[in-house]
Structure 1
Amino acid sequence: MTTTDRYLEPHQARTRLPTMFEDLLGDAIERAFGEGAYTLPELVAYLNRTGPASENGAAWTEENFQALMARLGH
């Protein structure tokens, strides 16, 4: 096998397409990183300032953000 035979399939572990909420959240996280929000408290504050709200419409907390990331990562 040569290096040209290899390829990266970035969604190889994906079992379904992301929901609209997941797409919006991913975009917001990328913007937060782009604006220098690197720690969890900074990221949560950014999401609460700009949205989207959490899945149940409540404010983001470090706990509910981490729980959602753990759930989405499985």
Structure 2
Amino acid sequence: MQQPYLEPHQARTRVPNSFEDLLGDSIERAFAVGIHDLPGLVGYLNQAGPTCPGGEPWTEDAYKTLMARLGE
């Protein structure tokens, strides 16, 4: 029996906007250099960008809130 799989884009309801594309690219670069914890990721985003929506520095709470909203 063939195992079910997730087509990478089947769960999304729209095409990502440019901010979401930049954020995803930056998160992938952070993972590629070995950053796998939230404090490290937030620090990386503050250094490399993109900036947090609203122009404020990234915080753990801001990151969690945004990921929850994007995951809806």
Shorter-chain TM-score above 0.5: yes
Residue by residue, what CA displacement relative to the aligned partner does 1:41-73 show, whole Å, maximum 9, x if unpaired? 000000001100011111000000000000000
The structure whose Rg is larger is 1
Alignment partners' CA distance in 1, 2:28 and 2:48: 12
1:38–1:7 CA distance, 2 compared to 1 (3 A): closer
Partner of 2:39: 41
* Aligned counterpart for 2:9 among listed residues 1, 8, 11: 11
TM-score by length of 2: 0.90
**Quick one: percent identity of the two aligned structures?**
61
Structure 1: which 4+ aligned runs deviate by more than 4 Å?
A: none
Partner of 2:67: 69
Unmatched tracts of structure 2, length 5 or more: none
Give the number of equivalent residue pairs.
Answer: 71
By how many angstroms is 1:10 displaced? 1.1
